[in-house]
Structure 1
């Protein structure tokens, strides 16, 4: 189950990051960089949850808080409609901006709540599932 969630998260976050060098629009590039950083943090959290990275409560806290911070910044990064051939953002983001922002706000809320509860690798697994669900809620609707 964790592997399947990680694969989904990786596809959602990592695939757009592969084309950063070709992105001409600065706003799009900034969005893609933020999503790439979020993916990197999800990967670290997966490592803590599976034992491939030795579990450290402080590290887990920092990772999940950073995911929350990036989620908090997401609406501002998408506030102005911007496009680029490398972007996978759907135009629906700007047609349904309030819903998009609400989903980012929900991810932020989940992350900040979870950051206080992670005390072991099992908690990290649960957090990975919940955060992955928050990411998926947005990407299902707003990402090509």
Structure 2
């Protein structure tokens, strides 16, 4: 399995896990965080389909998706600033213990996605950029998500 395929597989599994966790959330702040994460995941769907050959390459659509991911990443630290809990939340307490690192990881995702949204021209660039986005997501989820 290529690194890119592995990243897409992790993303698909995360999406399935996320859908199950989203059910039954009572805390509105936690729901807002989950909605933000879902919007980020939704941003990966169109370019992901392009690199898997399920959709024709469209640089404009891929740039728009990358811009959506960047915008959600920019909002993420604010969504997590207050230490809110819910039995269905997958956020680990280490987020607030290491909030500067959490924020740095979110800023990295924003930077990677923003770069892709402004410079993408080829399918190879999309493949590489999605790999970087997947790695940025994974770096945060490995530490800060159940």
> Shorter-chain TM-score category?
over 0.9
Deviation per CA, 1:63-109, whole angstroms, max 9, x where unpaired? 00100000000000000001111111000001111110111011101
Q: Which residue in 1 is equivalent to 2:13? A: 11
Name whichever of 45-54 and 72-81 sits farther off: 45-54
Question: Please, what TM-score do these two structures have when normalized by structure 2?
Answer: 0.92
Name whichever of 14-23 and 71-80 sits farther off: 14-23
CA contact (8 A) 1:17 1:35 kept: no
Question: Please, what TM-score do these two structures have when normalized by structure 1?
Answer: 0.93
Q: Which residue in 2 is equivalent to 1:126? A: 128
Deviation per CA, 1:33-76, whole angstroms, max 9, x where unpaired? 11111112112211122221111111011000100000000000
CA contact (8 A) 1:17 1:33 kept: no
CA contact (8 A) 1:14 1:36 kept: no
CA drift at 1:121: 1.9
What is the distance in 2 between the residues matched to 1:104 and 1:143?
13
Structure 1: which 5+ residue stretches go unaligned?
Answer: none
Structure 2: which 5+ residue stretches go unaligned?
Answer: none
Report matched runs for 1:1-144 at 5 Å.
1=2, 2-144=4-146
Aligned residue pairs total: 144
Aligned-pair Cα RMSD in Å: 1.3
